[in-house]
Each structure stands twice: as structure tokens, then as C-alpha cells.
Structure 1
């Protein structure tokens, strides 16, 4: 059974054509075409309800969703104030009671040419915040690596385009185009990835399946995020399972909530490539890149926890700086290719 039972027919009727550019309205009211680079701005987006009219007006002056304090997940289905409180709690407790996320555990099993990755890991951030990281298509810098020099940024996973196909309460079905960069044993390259993602903003779960992924016959998976009461033993003196309400009460509202993430990724190289030793090489790349992406997430969350406050406007400025560094490196690489 696929990851989208009963959903295949509807998808086939709605994604026969690739994502197309749309138009946006400029400040003078005239319509202008959206470049290939800007296709991902398609919604829906959700404003932080706590923004003042002045902050919202200042944000609109940015004129680009990449740097606006917008949410990719619908705050209607979770307590945004509690999420902000938890984020700030992680910041304030970082030095007093450090929490070290262990590297992800990745189990690899291959059967009948199909590779199954079962992944478990924890992050020092609440489930809704982690879900936002997973689903935000604005290339927020979560998946980057640093080169030899501090100004040498490499974005490992870029979102090129998104299109929301269906919105039904907390459920959102999105068509996504990404590009993945890989490097292994001296070889490097890029892999275009075109997916359909079925998200649930309330349950913080998602499934995905390929529309088209280069060299892949099968490419699908799922993830779920569960709360992890990291201070339960210290503040509640108990190891038995408790609810979020009980945890908040016994910890005096001082208990941090982290995330336990369980992922399953299934892939199978196309028929011509699913033969040793080529299939071994492809599987090796897939597993190594997956581990690298998970490590990027881990380091990103640790960096965010070091910040003294979590202010959307401040975060947007940080993101814009990252974007400029990435764009500068891309321009530099293009100039080198010209020579």
C-alpha cells in the first residue's frame, strides 16, 4: 500500500502539468510575471497574530515572503503563544540546563531492491516548531553547511517552487519542487526532486510521494513528531508517561518540551541503475545525504536555542543575511564557470 491510500486518483487529475509561474501585483497596481526563482511564493501563508499593525506594515515593505515573519503552518490548530513561550524557555535554559540532542539513529534495510530507512532522532524544540522547519518552503537556512571559510555557505537542500493543491481544515496537500546537492568520495552533483506532501498541521504528521525524482523508481515516506518532556525527571520526579497538561502543572510551567521525530523513507533506484555496483553507490549517496540533512537540522536547532530571544523580525533579518551569503556564493561559482 502506498503512502497515499485513496488519494492517487485525485492527485492524477491535478498534477499532470508542472508548476507554472504565476503573476504578482506590484506596488503600482500593475501585474508582473514571477520569475522562476520566485515561484515558491504561492500560499497559503499565515501572519503571526501577535504582530502589531506597525510591525505588519514594516514587514510588507520587505516585499518578499522569504524575509517576512510568516508561518507556513496554520496557527489555528495550535497555541502559538505557548509555542513562543516554549521557544523562549529553551533559550533561557540553554546554559543552566543544557540539552544535547544525540545524532539521529538511521537503520537501513534493503529487500527486493527497495531500500527502507527508519530514522529516529530528538530535537530541542517543540513539535510545532520542528514541523514548521520541515514544511516552510522559504529556504530558511536549516539545511546548510559551512565550508573551509566562514563566508563559504552551501545550501544542501533548496526549495524552488510550491503550490498548495488542497486545503481542508488542518490538512494541506502541497506540490513541491526541490533541488538536493550531494558530495561523496570526491564526486558531487544535484538531484531535482518533485513531490506531493500531505501535511496535517494539527497532528504534526506528513506523508510524501514522488511526482518525479531523478534516477528513482520509488521515492516516498512519512514523518511524525511527538512531544518529549525533557525536564520531567528533574522537575516532576517521575518517569511514567504524562500528558502535556500534567507536565505543565508538575513542572510549574518551567518544563521544556522537545520533539521526538520518527521518519520512514523508502526508495528504489530506476531499473537500469538498480544493479550492483551502481545500486550500492546510489544507496550510499542517499544514506549519507540523509544523515547530513539530519545533522544540519540538529545544528540549526542548537544555534536557535543559543539566541536570547525568538523575535520573528530579528529572525527574518538573520535569514536575509544568510540568503545574501548564499546568493553571493552562487554568483561567484557562475563567474568561475565562465572562465
Structure 2
């Protein structure tokens, strides 16, 4: 048999005690995979922190840990992460957290935070997709799109699109011209208005960060990177996304109260619908339709396409009419009973 299968040799020391064999990298092979992976990750951190790098066994561990990410193409990594979601699609979508502030001279600054059950690369692909009007229902059409700068993972794109707007009894289509700085390396999308028009200032950013959904499987470890998470879950851990949308809106003329309050509410509602459209798309890609999100999507579609109501829209509007009618009758009956 080969030397790799022999038992370690024990020898007697001069004082009569048994001499233990040296603990080298080969002895790690006798440790279960999960513990071995954990030791590799922590040993790699220790070596980096303390500046070790002599070139022998000490360098082999961090090199192997790093190799798991540097040798895998982004497309292959995304396919692997999506497969983990197919194997375990369980996820509960939650509405976004919304914070509204009013900087001096602006209509509002919106900050939305939410989570999605898809990896950052998949969410990023939805946001930068030139045909994403099929996802975001407030985009009527993309008038023009031009790549100004292309540096591989990072691009600057000039986009002009027609957005649907509604205010009080009026509605129409608004042309928005923006420059979009999209960077796949850190999964950020920054946008800023180019030509001014109805909007004096329209800018903001998307930020997508990885969310380790199954990190409990790594306990007592707390993975800090995708490589560590992938290692301690043996490649089966699901990766979700923690998303932040920050948006500043300043019209050419800010209307006085109470119109500014009403317009601010409509703007907040429109941005919330945009986020819900994104969440609905992530649910569709997972293969699981979320009833609450689907309902919001249909209601939003009915609001923005009033001239072309589908059967689904009519059903929802009819249900709301019945609910309001029942509510009025219920109030009348309660008042009669109290009288």
C-alpha cells in the first residue's frame, strides 16, 4: 500500500514517553470535511493577519481557500447560487422599509431598504437590463440608450426613457434623461440626471450586498465573505441580497402645501411600486409567486394602464368596489343600531 495510507509512526523518546508525530498538512485529510474547511478558513485568516508566508505548508492553506473564488467564472458562480435556490426555494418576501426626508429646496429624499431571495448578480442583472421596462411598470419605453464608457465590469450608460406620471386628476408621460454608472464588481448602480426639464434634480443609487441566508449551518463560525460561506456550507448555502435604494427628487418648481404633501406621497408610492416590481421579478425567477406582491403588481398595472384594463384588473377593481360598498352599508347598519 502507498505511504499515504500508513498509520503515523510512533517512537520512544529518550525519557521513555511516546513521541507524537508532527501535525502537518497531510493530517488534515483525516479530519471530516466540514471541520477541515473551517480550519482552512481560520488558519488562512491567522496567517494573513500575522504576516506569515514562508513558502511551505503555511502558504498552501490560504492559497487553496482563495482559489475557490478566483478560478470560478462569475457566470458559473451565479448558476451554482441559483441552483441552491432551486434546491431550497423557501423564502418570505417582506415590504421595503421606507424613510422619507425633505432636504431644503427639494421635494423629498427617499431611502428604501429591503431583501430579495436571489444572489446580488441576479438582482443586478434585472436593474441594468436594457429591456427592464417589462419588470418596472412605470417605464413606458426606452427612447435611447448609449454606452459612453465600457471598462468591462463597469459601464457608464446614457439613457433617455419615458416614465408614466399621475398627479391629482392628470396623468401623462415624462421624459427622463440620466447617466447611469453601473459597476458589477461592487454591485452598485448610480444615476444622475443629464438634461434638466420637469425635474431640476433627479439622482440616486442602488446598492446590492450579499445576504447569507443559511449561515446558521456554519455555526459557531460567522462567515464574512462568499468564499468562507461557500466553504463552511459545502457549496449548498443560499445567497440572497440586501438592497438599498437612495433617491433624491427635486422638481423645477416645488408646489406649496398641501400639494407638495400630496405629490410627495405619490412619489413615495411610485418608488415603492418600483421596488415591489423588482421583488415580484425575483419571486418569478425563483419559481415562487408571492400572492401579496402579485396583488400589488396587478394593482400598480391597473393604475398605470387605465386605458387598457385586463380581466385581472377589472376583477380587482370590482372587489374593491364591493369592499367599499360593504363598508358603507356596514357603517350605516352600525349607526342605526346605535341610534
Both proteins in one fold, TM over 0.5: yes
User: Are 1:101 and 1:124, in contact at CA under 8 Å, matched by a contact in 2?
Assistant: yes
Residues 121 and 332 (structure 1), Cα distance of their counterparts in 2 relative to 1, 3 Å cut: closer
Task: Identify the match of residue 264 of structure 2 among 257, 261, 283.
Answer: 283
Aligned residues: 224
Q: How far apart in 1 are the matches of 2:189 and 2:278? A: 17
* Conserved? CA contact 1:225–1:261, under 8 Å: yes
Matching of residue 223 in structure 1 with residue 206 in structure 2 = yes
- Tell me which residue corresponds to 1:34: none
Q: Is the 8 A contact 1:105 1:119 kept in 2?
A: yes
- Do the aligned partners of 2:109 and 2:249 also contact (CA within 8 Å) in 1? yes
Q: 1:119 to 1:157 in 2, by over 3 A?
A: farther
CA separation in 2, counterparts of 1:258 and 1:157?
A: 29
Secondary structure (helix, strand or coil) at the match of 1:81 reads helix
Change (3 A) 1:129 1:77: farther
Displacement of 1:238? 4.6
Alignment partner of 1:258 is 2:222: no
CA 1:166–1:260: 2 relative to 1, 3 Å:
same
1:104/1:332 CA distance change after superposition, 3 Å: closer
Which structure would you say has the larger Rg?
2
Alignment of 1:31-50 (within 5 A): none
How far is the alpha carbon of 1:82 from its aligned partner? Answer: 1.1
Whether 1:102 and 2:97 are equivalent positions in the alignment is no
1:75-224 superposed matches below 5 A: 79-94=74-89, 98-114=90-106, 115-139=108-132, 141-144=134-137, 156=139, 158-183=141-166, 187-212=170-195, 214-224=197-207
Deviations 1:97-134 (A, max 9, x none): x1112111110000213221111111111111111111
SS in structure 1 opposite 2:127?
A: helix
Q: 1:228 touches 1:257 (CA, 8 Å); kept in 2?
A: yes
Unaligned runs of 5+ in 1: 1-75, 145-154, 308-328, 334-339
What's the counterpart of residue 8 of structure 1?
none
Distance 1:284 1:212 in 2: 25
Runs of 4+ in 1 over 3 A off after TM superposition: 155-158, 182-188, 238-241, 329-333
> Contact (CA 8 Å) 1:219, 1:268: kept in 2 or not?
yes
More strand by share: 1
Residue 330 to residue 119, structure 1, CA distance change in 2 (3 Å): closer
| Contact 2:126–2:132 (Cα < 8 Å) also in 1 | no
Structure 2: segments with no counterpart, 5+ residues: 1-70, 289-304, 310-339
Considering only aligned residues, what root-mean-square deviation do their CA atoms show, in Å?
Answer: 2.9
Q: CA deviation digits over 1:151-194, x for unaligned, max 9?
A: xxxx6454332100111243211001122224566653322211
Distance change >3 Å, CA 193–CA 109, structure 1 → 2: same
The structure-2 alpha-carbon separation of the partners of 1:330 and 1:275, relative to structure 1 and needing over 3 Å to count, comes to: closer
The TM-score, its normalising length taken from structure 2, stands at 0.59
Hey, which of these two has a bigger chunk of helix by percent?
Answer: 2
C-alpha separation in 2, matches of 1:282 and 1:78: 46
Deviations 1:256-280 (A, max 9, x none): 1011112211111213x34323322
Structure with more contact order per residue of length (Cα contacts < 8 Å, sep ≥ 6): 1
Deviations 1:194-238 (A, max 9, x none): 1001111212112111013652211111121110011112x2235
